[in-house]
C-alpha cells in the first residue's frame, strides 16, 4: 500500500504582491490630501445647503473671535504679558478688550443686529481707507499708481456695499467662502486620489494647499501644441489675419441686425437666434486667456477688437432702429424691460457662463456646449437695447442695458481666467515666474467688478423690497375679499406709492377704504390704491394727504 503526501498549497508570489498592493492602495486613498479635501468639500456643501445654519455659524464664530480677542487684551492689560498682536499700551489693551467683550455680549443677545453693525463699521472703514488711497494716488504721481488706484476704488466700492446692504454682504461672504471651500476640497480630493493611485512612492500628500494648487496647475498643463491650437481659434494672428477679422466682423453685423429686429419686434425666439451666432464671446475669452498667459500683445488686440465690436454694435442698432417702420413701447417691450435693470442674479449667471465657456474651450469633449453658453449669457442683445434706447431718447434704459453688458464682460473675464488657470491653458512656468505682474493686470478688472457691484446690489435690494411688499399686499387683498367672494385676483402690483389690484368676476368689490387702511398698516407707509374689476368698474383713491 502506497502512501502519498500532498504538500500544502503555496500561494503564488505575484498574487500575494498584487493583494498587498491592492490593500495598500485602498488604505492609501485615505491620505492627508483626500481627508482635507473631503472635510472641505462637506463643510462647503453644508454651508451652501443650510443657509440658516450658515448665518448662525458665522454669528457664533464672530462672537467667539470677539470674546477671545477681548480676553487676551484684558489679560495683557492686567498681567503685562505680551502676546502676538498685543497693542503697545496696556490702557489701549484695556479699552479694546472691554469693547470686544461688550460687542461679543451684544452679539449673543441680538446676533442679527450686531452682525449688521459690524459689517457697517467695516464698510465705513473701507470707504474712508479707499477714499484716502485714491486721493493719495491722485496727489502723489509717483510709483506704480494703477494697482493702488484699483485697490482704493475696490475698497471704497465694497465699503459702500457693506454700509448699504450689510445682510447681503454677510450672506455673500458665506456663499463665496462655501464655493471656495468646495472648489479647493474637490482639488485636494482629486489630487490625493491621483497620488494614491500612482503608488506609495508618489503619495506624499502632506503638502500645503498652495503647493498642491501649483502642482495641480502643472499637471493640468495641456501642452504647447494644444495651446497653440486653441490660440489659433481665439486670436486674430497670422496667417489670414485680415480674413479672420473680416469674417468676425460680418458675423457680428449679422447678429446685431437680428438682435435689433428681435428687440423691436419683441421676439424671444429671434433673440435666441442672435445669441447663437454672436461672436463677442471670442474676444472676451481671448482676453482672459492672454491675461493669464502674460501675452500683452494678444491682450491688447483682444481688448481693441472687443471695444470695436461694442461700438459697432451700438451704432448699428441705433441706425437700424431709426429706420424700422415700427412703434416701440419701451415700457411693455419684454426684450427691453428685461435688460435695463440688471441685478446680482445677472452677475451670477455671467460667472457661471464664463466658467462654462472657458471649460468648453479647453476641453474638446464638451466644446459642443458653447452655443448653450452663448444663450445663457447675453452679449449682443444688451448692446442692441442700448442702441435702440438711444434712438428713442431713453438714456436711463440705455445705461441699464450697458451696465448689463459690462456685468457680463467682467464676470466672464474673471471666471474664465480662473478656469483657464486650473484647466491648464495657462503656462504654469510663466504663471509662476510672473504671478505678480499678472495679478497687476487683473487689478483694473477687480476694481471694475467692485464698482459694478454697487448698482447691482442696490438694484437687487430694490427688487427684494418690491417683491416683499407685493407678497404682503397679495395677502392683504385676499383677506379683504374674504373666502366667499366670487371675484378672482388677476394681479397685485406695487409701484412706488400705488398698489394696483386687478380683479375679474361677476360681483362688486368690497369698499376700497378698508383695503387702503389694511395696506397702509401692512406696508408701513401711505399708499394709493387702484382697484380694477373686469369688466365692471375701476375704483381709484389717491394717497392720504
State the maximum Cα–Cα separation within the chain, in Å, rounded to a whole number.
125
pLDDT in tens, 185-213: 888 888 878 777 766 444 455 677 788 78
Q: Is residue 424 part of a domain?
A: yes
Cβ atoms of residues 353 and 416 within 8 Å: no
pLDDT in tens, 281-327: 888 988 988 888 888 888 888 889 999 999 999 999 999 888 876 67
User: Do 411 and 296 belong together in one domain?
Assistant: yes
What is the total count of domains within the chain? Answer: 3
User: Do 477 and 415 belong together in one domain?
Assistant: no
User: Do 410 and 484 belong together in one domain?
Assistant: no
For 393-437, the three-class secondary structure string (H helix, E strand, C coil) is CCHHHHHHHHHHHHHHHHHHHHHHHHHHHHHCCCCHHHHHHCHHH
Q: Is residue 202 part of a domain?
A: no
Mean pLDDT of 508-536: 79
Where is the domain boundary, 128, 153, 180?
A: 180
Q: Is residue 263 part of a domain?
A: yes
- Closest by CA position to 123, among listed 155, 168, 159: 159
Q: Is 176 exposed, middle or buried (0-12, 13-18, 19+ CB in 10 A)?
A: exposed
User: Do 301 and 353 belong together in one domain?
Assistant: yes
Cβ atoms of residues 538 and 500 within 8 Å: no
The backbone torsions φ and ψ at residue 203, rounded to the nearest 5 degrees and listed phi first, read -95, 35
The dihedral over CA atoms of 363, 368, 372, 377, expressed in degrees to the nearest 10, equals 40
User: Do 421 and 484 belong together in one domain?
Assistant: no
- Closest by CA position to 46, among listed 184, 201, 174: 174
Tell me the C-alpha distance between 66 and 77, whole Å.
16
Q: Please state, as a whole number, how many other Cβ atoms lie within 10 Å of the Cβ of residue 11.
A: 8
Residue-level pLDDT at 373: 65
User: Do 105 and 229 belong together in one domain?
Assistant: no
Where is the domain boundary, 180, 214, 237?
A: 180
User: Do 397 and 521 belong together in one domain?
Assistant: no
User: Do 244 and 339 belong together in one domain?
Assistant: yes
Q: Is residue 438 part of a domain?
A: no
Residue-level pLDDT at 15: 45
Q: Is residue 360 part of a domain?
A: yes
User: Do 402 and 508 belong together in one domain?
Assistant: no
Q: Is residue 133 part of a domain?
A: no
Q: How far, CA to CA in Å, does 182 sit from each of 44, 93, 188, 308, 316?
A: 5, 38, 10, 38, 44
pLDDT in tens, 330-379: 778 888 888 888 888 888 888 888 888 888 888 777 666 666 666 667 78
Q: Please state, as a whole number, how many other Cβ atoms lie within 10 Å of the Cβ of residue 195.
A: 24
Using a pLDDT cut of 90, give the percent of the chain over it: 4
pLDDT in tens, 84-99: 676 677 788 888 888 8
User: Do 319 and 380 belong together in one domain?
Assistant: yes
Where is the domain boundary, 433, 448, 481?
A: 433
- Summary mean pLDDT of the chain: 79
pLDDT in tens, 257-288: 998 988 888 888 888 888 888 788 888 988 98
Cis amide linkage into residue 535, ω under 30° from 0: yes
Q: Is residue 340 part of a domain?
A: yes
Residue-level pLDDT at 328: 77
User: Do 259 and 320 belong together in one domain?
Assistant: yes
Domain region containing 500: 469-541
Q: Is residue 46 part of a domain?
A: yes
The CATH number that applies at residue 321 is 1.20.1080
User: Do 81 and 171 belong together in one domain?
Assistant: yes
Amino acid at each position: 500500500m502506497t502512501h502519498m503526501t500532498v504538500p500544502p498549497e503555496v500561494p503564488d508570489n505575484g498574487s500575494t504582491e498584487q493583494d498587498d498592493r491592492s490593500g495598500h492602495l485602498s488604505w492609501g486613498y485615505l491620505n492627508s490630501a483626500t481627508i482635507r479635501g473631503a472635510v472641505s468639500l462637506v463643510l462647503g456643501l453644508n454651508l451652501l445647503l443650510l443657509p440658516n445654519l450658515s448665518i448662525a455659524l458665522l454669528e457664533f464664530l464672530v462672537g467667539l473671535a470677539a470674546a477671545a480677542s477681548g480676553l487676551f487684551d484684558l489679560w495683557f492689560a492686567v498681567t503685562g504679558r505680551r502676546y502676538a498682536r498685543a497693542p503697545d499700551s496696556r490702557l489701549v489693551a484695556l479699552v479694546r478688550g472691554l469693547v470686544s467683550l461688550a460687542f461679543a455680549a451684544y452679539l449673543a443677545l441680538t446676533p442679527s443686529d450686531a452682525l449688521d453693525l459690524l459689517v457697517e463699521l467695516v464698510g465705513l472703514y473701507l470707504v474712508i481707507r479707499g477714499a484716502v488711497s485714491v486721493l493719495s494716488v491722485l496727489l502723489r504721481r509717483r510709483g506704480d499708481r494703477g494697482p493702488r488706484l484699483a485697490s482704493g476704488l475696490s475698497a471704497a466700492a465694497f465699503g459702500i456695499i457693506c454700509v448699504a446692504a450689510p445682510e447681503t454682504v454677510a450672506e455673500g461672504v458665506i456663499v463665496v467662502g462655501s464655493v471656495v471651500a468646495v472648489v479647493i476640497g474637490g482639488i485636494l480630493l482629486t489630487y490625493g486620489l491621483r497620488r494614491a493611485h500612482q503608488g506609495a512612492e508618489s503619495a506624499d500628500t502632506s503638502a500645503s494647499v498652495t503647493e498642491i494648487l501649483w502642482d495641480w496647475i502643472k499637471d493640468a498643463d495641456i501642452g504647447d501644441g494644444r495651446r497653440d491650437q486653441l490660440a489659433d481659434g481665439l486670436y486674430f494672428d497670422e496667417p489670414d489675419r485680415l480674413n479672420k477679422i473680416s469674417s468676425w466682423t460680418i458675423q457680428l453685423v449679422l447678429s446685431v441686425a437680428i438682435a435689433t429686429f428681435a428687440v423691436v419686434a419683441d421676439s424671444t425666439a429671434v433673440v435666441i437666434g442672435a445669441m447663437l451666432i454672436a461672436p463677442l464671446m471670442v474676444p472676451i475669452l481671448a482676453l482672459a486667456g492672454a491675461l493669464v498667459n502674460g501675452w500683452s500683445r494678444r491682450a491688447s488686440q483682444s481688448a481693441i477688437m472687443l471695444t470695436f465690436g461694442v461700438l459697432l454694435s451700438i451704432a448699428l442698432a441705433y441706425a437700424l432702429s431709426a429706420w424700422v417702420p415700427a412703434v416701440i413701447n419701451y415700457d411693455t417691450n419684454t426684450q427691453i424691460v428685461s435688460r435695463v435693470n440688471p441685478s446680482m442674479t445677472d452677475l451670477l449667471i455671467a460667472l457661471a457662463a464664463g466658467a462654462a465657456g472657458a471649460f468648453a474651450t479647453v476641453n474638446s469633449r464638451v466644446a459642443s456646449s458653447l452655443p448653450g453658453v452663448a444663450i445663457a449669457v447675453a452679449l449682443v442683445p444688451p448692446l442692441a437695447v442700448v442702441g435702440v434706447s438711444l434712438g428713442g431718447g431713453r438714456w436711463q434704459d440705455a445705461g441699464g442695458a450697458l451696465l448689463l453688458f459690462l456685468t457680463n464682460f467682467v464676470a466672464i473675464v474673471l471666471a474664465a481666467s480662473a478656469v483657464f488657470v486650473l484647466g491648464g491653458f495657462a503656462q504654469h512656468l510663466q504663471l509662476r515666474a510672473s504671478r505678480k505682474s499678472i495679478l497687476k493686470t487683473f487689478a483694473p478688472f477687480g476694481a471694475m467688478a467692485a464698482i459694478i457691484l454697487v448698482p447691482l446690489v442696490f438694484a437687487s435690494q430694490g427688487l427684494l423690497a418690491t417683491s416683499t411688499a407685493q407678497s404682503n399686499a397679495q395677502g392683504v387683498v385676499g383677506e379683504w375679499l374674504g373666502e366667499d367672494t366670487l371675484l378672482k385676483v388677476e394681479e397685485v402690483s406695487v409701484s412706488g406709492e400705488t398698489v394696483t389690484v386687478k380683479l375679474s368676476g361677476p360681483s362688486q368689490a368690497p369698499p376700497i377704504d378698508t383695503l387702503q387702511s389694511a395696506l397702509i398698516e401692512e406696508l408701513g407707509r401711505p399708499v394709493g390704491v387702484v382697484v380694477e374689476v373686469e369688466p365692471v368698474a375701476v375704483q381709484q383713491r389717491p394717497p392720504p394727504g
